[in-house]
Amino acid sequence: MPHPVISANHVAVITGGASGIGLAAATRFAEAGMKVCIADLGDDRLKAAAAKLSSAAPGGAADIMTAAVDVSRADEVASLKAAVAKKFGGTDILMNNAGIQPGSAMFGPADNWQRILGVNLWGVINGTQAFAPNMIKRDRPGLIINTGSKQGITTPPGDPAYNVSKAGVKAFTEALQHELRNTDGCKITAHLLIPGFVFTGLTARGRTEKPAGAWTAEQTVDFMIEHLAAGDFYILCPDNDVPRALDERRILWAA
């Protein structure tokens, strides 16, 4: 039994919805009869994704919307909110999922850090600031799902800007959860999705076959939907093994 918010005629907005985990979530929401808006950088993939979603949606193309949006830009995200409200009315699910991992170095160029933090962290903040106030005012249950990463918890060496951005997503989502809980009558809940190793454009790095042990985007989303129904705040995909990773890091510190 999925979460009751995932049901016919409710509205879902998914950033980074043109591929990978975002597209898999959009597909499941469309299959459930939701009206779905995918927001992503404008290119042909957005059109291809919309065609796929239209065939999955019982209501067809009328229930699918695309928006060319750079989530790091608050003005573009505010326009997204206005466009969704005009076409579908209020939003029931916001999934702040857009992310990049181009690689980074501690003393690397500042604009690389700004871009990674801009998309991965500011994208989540911009989405929440644009959509959450109206979601709260609507006085009905809703979900805000932010996509984090195990790297935001274990901060492994090698990609500092990505780690910092995802640690920020974790902290922001926890702060949001406190805020929502302390808002009288608020029926919106926040959730932090922490995918394991998922075979998507982000991780393919030239590979065409899913490596052993990696999950598909669809497996990840089905796991997420199961845990949303259980009311979990942290949705840690099992291969994350975060506690063990933290133990290993403590051993590293001791050395």
The residues of the shown chain that bind ligand NAD, judged by CB under 6 A, are: 15-16, 18-22, 40-41, 69-72, 97-101, 119, 147, 149, 195, 197-198, 200-203, 217
- At its nearest, how many Å lie between ligand NAD and the CB of residue 139? 30
Residue 25's DSSP bridge partners are none
234 catalytic residue (yes or no): no
β-pairing verdict for 11-15 and 35-40: parallel
What region does 60 belong to: left with phi over 0, alpha with psi -120 to 50, or beta? left
In the complex with ligand NAD, the residue whose CB is nearer, 46 or 136, is 46
Nearer to ligand NAD, 41 or 229 (CB): 41
Catalytic pick among 88, 113, 162, 223: 162
Beta-strand pair 64-68/142-147: unpaired
Phi, psi of 11 (to 5 degrees): -115, 130
The label of the residue with tokens 């808006």 reads 37
- To the nearest whole angstrom, how small is the minimum distance from the Cβ of residue 56 to ligand NAD? 17
Residue 37: beta bridge partners?
13, 65
Residue 185 CB, shortest distance to ligand NAD, in Å, is: 31
Q: Is 231 left (phi over 0), alpha (psi -120 to 50) or beta?
A: left
Tokens standing for 87?
A: 């076409």
Sign of the torsion angle spanned by Cα atoms 64, 66, 72, 76: negative
Q: Which is nearer to ligand NAD, 88 or 122 (CB)?
A: 122
Q: Report, in Å, the least distance between residue 218 CB and ligand NAD.
A: 11
* C-beta of 16 vs 142, nearer to ligand NAD: 16
B/e letters for 58-87, b = 16+ CB within 10 Å, e = fewer, are eeeeebbbbbebbbbbeebbeebbebbeee
Q: Nearer to ligand NAD by C-beta: 32 or 235? A: 235
Whether 15 contacts 41, CB under 8 Å: no
Nearest distance, CB of residue 66 and ligand NAD, angstroms: 12
- Active-site residues, by number, are 162
